[in-house]
């Protein structure tokens, strides 16, 4: 018997990447409609990807770069 939550977990990143087949997309969407836990996880992953895209597109102020550089520990 298939554990759909486990299968959804396996398919989550490919689903978000848009690399699933049409049949797999239908399976994932069907499960997300029925399972609030997986749907909540999907929304989290979707928002996280959005925030990462925004964060890397915004320039970092020079002052912040300098503060972060000062916190670095050399890898000896």
Sign of CA dihedral 42, 45, 5, 37: negative
* Largest pairwise CA distance in the chain: 56
Distance CA 22, CA 36 (A): 22
pLDDT confidence of residue 72 = 85
Q: Give the start-to-end residue ranges of the domains of the chain.
A: 4-71
Nearest residue to 15 via CA among 4, 3, 28, 6? 28
Which regions in the chain score pLDDT beneath 70? 1, 76
pLDDT confidence of residue 26 = 94
pLDDT confidence of residue 76 = 65
Condensed to tens digits (0 to 9), the pLDDT of residues 18-38 reads: 999 999 999 999 999 999 999
Q: List the alpha helices (DSSP H) in 1-76.
A: 4-17, 22-34, 36-57, 62-71
What pTM value is reported for the model?
Answer: 0.67
């Amino acid at each position: 018997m298939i554990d759909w939550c486990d299968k959804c977990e396996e398919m989550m990143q490919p689903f978000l990447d848009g690399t699933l087949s049409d049949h797999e997309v239908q399976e994932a969407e069907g499960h997300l409609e029925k399972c609030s836990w997986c749907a909540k996880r999907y929304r989290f992953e979707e928002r996280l990807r959005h925030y990462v895209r925004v964060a890397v597109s915004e320039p970092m102020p020079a002052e912040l770069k300098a503060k972060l550089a000062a916190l670095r520990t050399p890898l000896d």
